[in-house]
Each structure stands twice: as C-alpha cells, then as structure tokens.
Structure 1
C-alpha cells in the first residue's frame, strides 16, 4: 500500500503539494543547552487575560484577533525599528508557526516537528526537541503551526498523527496521545488549543478520504477525553445530508471535513468555535447533498465535544474551499444595536458577518465578496445559503474553471482585528483562478493513504484572470459599516502572510515574494516601514515585551503551497515580473527600537 501511495504522493509533489519523506532516526532527540529554571505556568486565567507582554496562543487571544495592546512601537517611531537578534532553525521548507512567548521564553515549531525554546530577549537556546517521525513517513505538507501552552507543559503535534506533551523546562517528552493514523493520511499540522485542562487538535487528510474530527486530550494523562467527527454518522443530526441517491455507498465514512486549523473560544459562554475543511472527493456530484458539516463553522461544547450550532458557508463543497479557519469573535453593530458577533473572510472569497448566541446558535447576518467569485449567483438574505452557477461548479468528466482558485481568496493565513480602528485586516489573493477535469477513482480505496481527491493532478491549471494585474493584496474592512476602507496591492506575487495589528496604530505583514516584512499605518494603509528578510515569511508576526521593551518577531522560511503556486504563476508570466527565485531556510527575526 505504501509503495502505491508513495508514487501518487511524489506525482503530486511536483505539481501541487509539498510532499516530504522524513528521514528520521526513529528516536526522539532532545538537546538541552540550558534548563529553564524559572518558568511561569500557563493557567486558564492567564490565557483568558491575554497579557500583551506574552503571546501564549497562536492568534494572541482566545477570540482570534491577532492584536497586541503594546504601543511602544508606533506609527511615529516605527521607522527606527531594527533587528536585535536572529536565530537560524537549521531547517528548510515552509515555516508557518508564530513565536509563542511566555514570560520571556519563546517557543518555535518548525517543519519536521522540531520545537525550539529560546530566550525571547537574547535569542539564546534553552532546548531543542526533534520528534521521532517514522523514517518512511510521507505527508502532503511537512509544516507545523504552533504549540499549546498549559501549566508547565508544551504540547506539540506530530506529522505522524501524535500529540506530545513536553516538559516546558527541558523539552523532555512526558507522554503522548496517538490522534490520527498517518498511514491513511491523517497527519497533523495544526497548533493544538488548550482549554480547561484539555488540549484540542484535529488532523488533516481530506485529500485521502479521511473523515475529519476534533479530539480532546487530557493535559495530565495524554488520554483521549472525547472525539467529535465533522461528518455525522448514522443517528446523528446532519447525517441525512449525505444520504442521497446516486452517490458512492457510505460516502460519509470518507467525506473529508478535516479540522486542521486551531479554533477560537468564548470563555464567557464556554462555547468553542472551529472550522471544517473541504469535502472528499472534491467533486460534489459524487456525494450529492448539503454534506454537513463540510465547509462550515461549528460551535461546540469543549466539555464533551457536542456540536451545539453551525453555519455552512457553502453546501456540497466542490471547489476545495476548505473553511478551516474559525470565525473571529468580536462585537458587531446590527440593526441599531450591538450583538456578540462572528466575522470571517472565507476561502470561497466571501466575507461573513454572523451573530453568536449564548447557547451556541450561529445566526447569519450578511455576506459579500472581498475578491472576485464567479460561482455564487446570490446568497439567501436570511440564511446565507448560496446559489451556484453550474458553469463554474466542478463535476465528474468535464473541465470546469472557477474563481477564486482552490487556494481561495484567502487561505489559512490569519486575518487581524484592531479594536481601536474597528478594522479587520485581510491577507487576500485576487485575480487567481483554476480549472480541472473531475474523475471517478475506482482503482483507489478511500482512507487508504492514497490520493483520492477526484482529480488528475497534472491536469490542474492555475491561472490569473487578468494577466496584466497582480494577485496579492492586504485589505482593511470596517467591521460595522461592512465596507472595505483601504487596499494595498503587492503586484505579481501571492500574499501568503498572516497579519498582526497593534495598539501602536500598525499592521505588520510579510508573505510576498520580495521577502519584505512591512508595517502599514492601520488607518490609512500607507507603508511606514519595511525590511528585507532572508526568505519569504509565511508565519504569523507577533509582539511581546520583556523588561518593559516591546519586540516584533516573525519566522521566515519559504516552502509548501506558497512556493508551488508562486512558481507556477511565475512560469506563466510572460512579463517576467513575477519573482520566483526565493531562498529557503528558517530564521527567527526579532525587531525592537534602539535603546534610548
């Protein structure tokens, strides 16, 4: 089975995905340069408080804002910002994890599942953990997107489908839970999420026909507390949306819906919000029906994993428009009042405004495109349910093109919200489309570790709608007027950079092929500072402080989908304006103002 799977994965790697066989020793390597003797345990109270001197969660707070209250670095002095230390990870490929900081200790995760603990003030190494991935492991994306900090442990997921509890002081592995079976495609790239002594994480695997799920692990014992599947089984609400004539038998068993990015959480109501990925195979005509809860936001009870509410952004997903990012939690003006809201720019190219009820119900308020979408003809004003143009809806046996591409108007990189400006900042990609011919795969068993998306990878055509225009953008949207306030165009490069916004009136972002980290004026969109990095940074920038000094940190390291998509578009660009020669290599960059 693995021989067949390896051939398919290698074919995919040259065209779409970053598929990596990890040659490991089979043993965990833990190197301690200096034990951390004064470590501050991470508690529920500290996670809820989100002290701006720390960056404890991948997105900074439970609400998912990517916002720092620190203002020592601001629009008046940001021109003086300079690097104060760097640290080379010694690892290639796509670095996509934020620097997470707890009381002056920084934790970095890298491709191939290294975890590095550094002094956040000086960059000196405390310890390094290298995960014992199997030597024959092959995955589509070899990246990692952060850790979960809880009490005196660091929880790191592995590409081999494991969740590992490390001693925060030494990096020693204390216990492990096997979440997914990598041999069938259930590998993990997500940052785990800590809530009330439980660590939540879900695997990837939709392209292999793996049925998506989220699993909660006891932080003390590494034992499973609950597992909730995103595709409901017999007797569960929503199962009827998979029972249609003409579909594959038992399509729900391998229907996709991976929950492969961290969620958001409302501590006041105790409701957890998580995003659900694409359907499997990609062709919706092979699994007729709405296909809950594919391409949806789920509201869940973190105590037992029960689904208490949902909103499906588009039914019968046929475009690989995964809804993997949970909506951001924020207050919204609506009908003359203020509601507890949810807001999200989705991969399908639409911005959604919703209301979150205390019991978990999600109520649609409005949706509008933030990039060009030629699939949706309208959204139902009451429910948000879209109607489709059949000419741009993929089906089996026919070439169909659509916009935005399967990578979406925005992929996984985080948007940011600044409560001072009332603006949400979106790393967008406009003008990008694709086409393919859907195929029926009878010669491959789903959930067997073989590629099972329903397309012939060499047939996938990615292109720009208007060759004279660029793709990457940074957009700023007023969360209350629901209008775009400003937009910056990066030209002929995709934007794969998550963004950070601060109380200093700034927005930081990278992710473009010119390798620059930029600071924008949060109100006007004017570039007020920029700095060339060693490589393109596709990891989230963060801010923290040590001894009263504010720092900005980002990890550069090109690879995975950003590298492939930009390379394909550069090869097609007759003007030769598209930058494709971007060096690899992971480096942590930390910036600060000069000492006064």
Structure 2
C-alpha cells in the first residue's frame, strides 16, 4: 500500500486559523486564460507559453538593487526543474522525489509539505519534476512513478489519484508538469529510451476519471500509420516507437486548440523503423475535448539523433504586411528556429526556418514544406558510426524560451560547438531497461577544438527574422529557462557558476547577478503582493547538466561537478 506523507507545517496553522479557506482564491478557466499580472498560475506564465510578466516595477535602471527577501531549502538533491507557481499568498514548488512544498509567498514560511513515497525498486533516467498545475482549489502533481495526484491547495491533503502509466510494465515515468484546460488535467510520460510509445492522457480535474487518451504514434489503419513499416522485420516498430510527450503543451484559449510537442524516436536509430515516422519530432494541434489530432508539422523525419521535438512552440502573432497573423515560433533541438502559421481551427502551415546553431545533418530544407534533406554520413544507423552536430542535447534542450511582446523578441537559451558520435546496435526491449539502440556508456560527446563558447542566450526578432543580440558563456553550457518582463528585463540562470542574472532585454547587457548555493536549471517566475514585485527561482543543479559537467571536466578541464541541493530564492528591490 502506498504511503503518503503530509508533514504538518500547516496542519497546526490551519487548525489555529492562521490560514482560512478565504485565503485561497480558486483558479478558474477564466483566470488561466487571462492570468492576473500579480500571480504566476502556469509553468510558463500564460497559456501561450511566453514566460513573460506584465509587471514593470523592476526595471533595467533599478534591477541592480535586487536583494534576497527569503530563501528555503527543499531538503532534496538532484536537478530541480520546476518553477515557483504562485496564487496569492500561496507558492507551490515541486521537487525531485515526488515532493510538493507550499510556502507563504511573502515570507517563505512553509505551509505544508506533501511527498508520495517512491515505490520499491523504481528507477528512471531523469529523477526530476517540472512543476505543478492549479485549478479550482486543487494542486495537481504528476509523480515520477506514473501517477497524477490532486491535492487540496490549502492543506496538501490528497484528494484523488489516478494512474497515467504502469512504470513496471510500460517502462514509462513522468517528469512533465500537467496542463489544465477546461477542467481536464493533461499529461504525458517520458521513457523513449526504454521503448515507450508516447501518449497524452486527460483526466477530469474534479474526480480523476480518465477522459481521453491520445497516442503520438498511430496504430495500423490510423492516419499517419503509413509512415511506419508495414511489413518485414520492423513492421511492429510502431508499438514501441517513442514519441513520448514529456513537456507541457500550450493552449490557444480563444480558438480552443492545444499545441503539444512530440519527442524522439525509439530506438534512436531510424533504420530500425524505416519511414517518416509520424508523429515523432512534431508539433500537434489537438482538440482538448477528445484529444483528436487536428493538424501537425514534423520538424525532421525518421529521427535518428535523439532530437526530441518535445517543447511546444510559443503562440504569437506575426506582423505581416500590416496585418496580425496567428503563428507559432520554436527553437528546436535540431538547431533550427521555426516560424509556423496557425489558423482558427488549428491547422499548422510551415512558413520558414533558419539555423540558430550549427547543424551538420541538414543539407537543405524545402522552402515550401520545411522538409529537410540529410547528409547520410551524419546519420547513425545499426552497426554504423556517425558524428553529427549539435549533439543529442541539441541547440536547446528542454528549457523554455521566452517571448516579450513589447520588444518583439524571442529569447533562446542555446548551446553550440558540441557534437556527438554514436554507433548503432540492436538492443532487445526489456521493460525498465535501456533500449535506445546505442550503448549508454559510450555516448561520445565531442566539443570543438578551442571552442569560443558553448552556452549562451540569443535574442531574435520575431517579425524581422534576424538575431538581434547574444550573450555567450565560454566556460559553461546553458541549462536555464528564461523570464522576460514588460519593463525590459530578462532573468536567467542555467550556468555552472551558480549565478542568477538579469540582462537588458533590448541590448543583452548584463545588469545584475547573484550567486546561489547550487546551479539553476528551473524557470524563473514573477509575482507581486501588496504592490511589490518579486522574482522567484529555484536553485538545484543535477541530471543532464551534471552529467555534461563531468564530460567537460574530462575534455576541457572544467570543475568536475556543481554543488547540488535544492533551495527556493525570492528577490525584490531593496529600500
């Protein structure tokens, strides 16, 4: 029987009347569609995925006066990849090992702590969590052992739980934050490296009852199944074909269309599943009522590089010939920046793309369809070794880009000058075991000789289609999401020196920095209380960022490891 830990911090406080039901404002569909500037209700701030706050109190002129207001340890190591979610006086932070912490947003006092006990024998490639979702009077957390749980927002008490996947038989696990749309909690699993066939599930937010399931790899006879092998040795490859949907999507509330990113193929080697392999490495538009696929765009076909397309594109409007045109923009792991059109019904159309980091695989891209042509020598296959750039971590890994409607710029956390050499093999699929078709102990990361930098931030004009500025890090990769503000400040972590930084959003000039106890790989967020603006970020290095740090120690003499250990930091302007 599962055990649940609700550690009191607040049980006594509630009993004493410190916090009453009136203190928590229920989160409605209307609030999610138009979140108040003083709150941070979604992982990326709004349904469009902008990672942008309309708050303007902190400016390029005064940001140097930022000071810590409070901090709190999470009592957990490993990689902390969840933002602080804020609704009034309540801040919610999820951590590795199935934990959710609720704080008083203003003071940092712990209100309650919930932790779902890890099952005996459980293991996953990435022991992390990327955030909670809010709706009504509940907080929703997807646990790494394949459960979705609804908690009472005021007390942390478990209200209901439902199984998303079976980690023992499916080999799946969950790192994604859920997305709540119209009273449905939507989430998908990770596990492409274990041969999981990707899917999304939607649950009734009140009861936990399953509403619908949508697989990203079609079964025989379904639209798109013709892009998978129909006969021969690989005819059943669709059953374990990958395409896990392990990052939260975005939502067009006006037209009632969800946009979701689909991950890499499984195994990684495309010759073991010949064909275009829809809907791997794609963006899907979906009907939130039933999960039906409306349209798609595939960034690259027959994925063979682990270039997952899991980040949903940002919803924007392009200024085209004096008219506003609904669109999508996305810096993809394959190193290309994509401009896509979307209509009111959710149809997706390719407009253009351009490299933002070096790509040695694409020899050309069809200007009408966006379909790339490949250098076959740079495509790993069974019993074949190939080197390609960027490496499997891509031009941008999972961290979120940010869009500022006032500057008209898209801000991209990027990594360049890194490549990968892989040798393919056939691996049997055994539940719970690595089966990506490459030896996990022989992932050969390569960095360019005398590389000028690897990590950095790029700012691109959404309408102009040009890079406006960039910041680069010679001695660090960038693993951090970005927050931008209406006043023209950009906040970012992501570097191995543990610093949290503020830049001028128009010029890229460094304005402020603060060292935290560990590195920052979580998205920053912003909120205000009683007219005072706060910036929140969770520090806690780990997972891929730490693994790469070790590789860079071997290749370039960097420090072998970054200190781990999670802590929440909240900043505001000093007097």
- Normalising to structure 1: TM-score of the pair? 0.93
Task: Check whether the contact 1:155–1:164 (CA below 8 A) recurs between aligned residues.
Answer: yes
Aligned to 2:106: 121
SS at match of 2:123: strand
Aligned to 2:545: 562
Task: Check whether the contact 1:155–1:166 (CA below 8 A) recurs between aligned residues.
Answer: yes
Q: In the alignment, which of 146, 160, 163 is matched to residue 161 of structure 1?
A: 146
Q: In the alignment, which of 320, 329, 334 is matched to residue 334 of structure 1?
A: 320
Aligned to 1:368: 354
Deviations 1:162-185 (A, max 9, x none): 000101111011111100111232
1:445 aligns with 2:429: yes
Please show how residues 74-473 of structure 1 align to structure 2 within 5 Å.
Answer: 74-183=59-168, 184-244=170-230, 246-334=232-320, 337-441=323-427, 444-445=428-429, 448-473=431-456
Deviations 1:40-90 (A, max 9, x none): 100011111111100000000000000000010110100100101000000
**Alignment partners' CA distance in 1, 2:560 and 2:42:** 32
The offset of 1:39, in angstroms, is 0.8
460-469 vs 416-425, greater mean Cα deviation? 460-469
Deviations 1:489-543 (A, max 9, x none): 1112110000000012100000100111000000000000011111101000111
**Alignment partners' CA distance in 2, 1:147 and 1:92:** 19
**Alignment partners' CA distance in 1, 2:322 and 2:219:** 41
Aligned to 1:580: 560
The offset of 1:360, in angstroms, is 1.2
Task: Check whether the contact 2:189–2:199 (CA below 8 A) recurs between aligned residues.
Answer: yes
The offset of 1:26, in angstroms, is 4.5
Aligned to 1:43: 28
**Alignment partners' CA distance in 1, 2:323 and 2:274:** 40
Task: Check whether the contact 2:228–2:235 (CA below 8 A) recurs between aligned residues.
Answer: no
563-572 vs 86-95, greater mean Cα deviation? 563-572
Task: Check whether the contact 1:514–1:579 (CA below 8 A) recurs between aligned residues.
Answer: no
Task: Check whether the contact 1:54–1:545 (CA below 8 A) recurs between aligned residues.
Answer: yes
**Alignment partners' CA distance in 1, 2:433 and 2:310:** 22
**Alignment partners' CA distance in 1, 2:448 and 2:277:** 30
**Alignment partners' CA distance in 1, 2:421 and 2:93:** 37
The offset of 1:553, in angstroms, is 0.5
Unaligned runs of 5+ in 2: none
1:490 aligns with 2:488: no
Task: Check whether the contact 1:378–1:386 (CA below 8 A) recurs between aligned residues.
Answer: yes
Taking structure 1 as reference, are residues 90 and 191 closer, same or farther at Cα in structure 2, changes over 3 Å only?
A: same
Task: Check whether the contact 1:98–1:540 (CA below 8 A) recurs between aligned residues.
Answer: yes
Task: Check whether the contact 2:546–2:561 (CA below 8 A) recurs between aligned residues.
Answer: no
SS at match of 2:326: strand
Aligned to 1:13: none
Q: In the alignment, which of 479, 482, 492 is matched to residue 462 of structure 2?
A: 479
Please show how residues 8-27 of structure 1 align to structure 2 within 5 Å.
Answer: 26-27=2-3
The offset of 1:206, in angstroms, is 0.6
Aligned to 1:516: 499
1:31 aligns with 2:7: yes
**Alignment partners' CA distance in 2, 1:581 and 1:382:** 46
The offset of 1:581, in angstroms, is 3.4
Q: In the alignment, which of 37, 44, 57 is matched to residue 72 of structure 1?
A: 57
Task: Check whether the contact 1:492–1:579 (CA below 8 A) recurs between aligned residues.
Answer: no
Deviations 1:245-276 (A, max 9, x none): 55523111100000000000000110000000
Q: How many residues align?
A: 565
Task: Check whether the contact 1:26–1:135 (CA below 8 A) recurs between aligned residues.
Answer: no
1:54 aligns with 2:39: yes
The offset of 1:194, in angstroms, is 0.5
Aligned to 1:22: none
Task: Check whether the contact 1:247–1:287 (CA below 8 A) recurs between aligned residues.
Answer: no
Aligned to 2:572: 592
Deviations 1:462-495 (A, max 9, x none): 0112333220010000000100000101112110
**Alignment partners' CA distance in 1, 2:554 and 2:118:** 34
Aligned to 1:526: 509
The offset of 1:151, in angstroms, is 0.1
Aligned to 1:506: 489
SS at match of 2:33: helix
The offset of 1:358, in angstroms, is 1.1
**Alignment partners' CA distance in 2, 1:108 and 1:98:** 7
The offset of 1:133, in angstroms, is 2.1
The offset of 1:445, in angstroms, is 2.6
Task: Check whether the contact 2:80–2:538 (CA below 8 A) recurs between aligned residues.
Answer: yes
**Alignment partners' CA distance in 2, 1:436 and 1:26:** 41
**Alignment partners' CA distance in 1, 2:66 and 2:299:** 41
Deviations 1:424-456 (A, max 9, x none): 100000101111100012xx235x222110001
Task: Check whether the contact 2:129–2:177 (CA below 8 A) recurs between aligned residues.
Answer: yes
Task: Check whether the contact 2:282–2:299 (CA below 8 A) recurs between aligned residues.
Answer: yes
- Normalising to structure 2: TM-score of the pair? 0.97
The offset of 1:459, in angstroms, is 2.1
The offset of 1:335, in angstroms, is 5.2
**Alignment partners' CA distance in 1, 2:448 and 2:269:** 23
Deviations 1:1-36 (A, max 9, x none): xxxxxxxxxxxxxxxxxxxxxxxx951101132234
**Alignment partners' CA distance in 2, 1:480 and 1:542:** 26
**Alignment partners' CA distance in 1, 2:424 and 2:131:** 35
Deviations 1:398-418 (A, max 9, x none): 110100000010010000001
